Amino acid sequence: MENSNTAVESNADLEQLATQGLGVIAKYAFQNPYSINGPFGTMDLALTDGGSGTESASGEININTLFGLGSSTLLRFTGEAKFNGSTGYTQIDTVGEGYITVRPNPPRYIKAGISITLAPGLEKGTLSVEGFFNNFEIKATSITHTK
């Protein structure tokens, strides 16, 4: 029997895992403007240029609340980002899947619709997560353009 690698052993091995270059990697923050109890959290987003006004979007959203003993939610998503060349806005409508922990209960599976609208420049926009909140303002805490 041949001995085969079971783990990457170099940066060159890691580079081979990437199948497409990223266009933007960004982190956003959001909070409920009406209550310190939340929801509040962060969103990580990666956009890959697919050409012709369409991009691939992937990321995760972390949502926290302070109600009762507090809760935490993690939703991961992939989808299509549609760039409008006339307005400069980018729209992402997708479904996130992950888990929610409402303390003191154990984590449970959750699935929720996600709508993200990014203004030109990607510095700010709005985020809606089904069952949690609608049109919360998001602001970039970091943006890296990789191309």
pLDDT in tens, 1-39: 455 556 667 777 656 555 555 689 999 999 999 999 999
Whether residue 6 lies inside any domain: the answer is no
The answer to whether residue 15 sits within a structural domain is no
Tens digit of each residue's pLDDT (9 = 90 or more) over 53-104: 568 999 999 999 998 889 999 999 999 999 888 999 999 999 999 999 999 9
pTM, two decimal places: 0.85
Is 25 part of a structural domain of the chain? Answer: yes
Residue 42, helix vs strand vs coil: strand
Total structural domains within the chain: 1
* CA nearest to 94, candidates 117, 66, 74: 117
Nearest to 102 by CA among 76, 130, 69: 69
**Better-predicted residue by pLDDT, 14 or 106:** 106
Identify the pLDDT of residue 1.
Answer: 44
Q: Regarding beta strands 108-118 and 124-129, do their DSSP bridges make them parallel or antiparallel, or are they unpaired?
A: antiparallel
Residue 113: closest CA among 96, 126, 100, 134: 96
CATH of the domain at 112: 2.40.160
Confirm whether 57 is domain-assigned: yes
Q: Is residue 83 part of a domain?
A: yes
State mean pLDDT over 123-128.
Answer: 98
At 48 the pLDDT is 86
- Residue 11 belongs to a domain: no
Strands 71-83 and 54-65: what pairing? antiparallel
Domain span including residue 86: 21-145
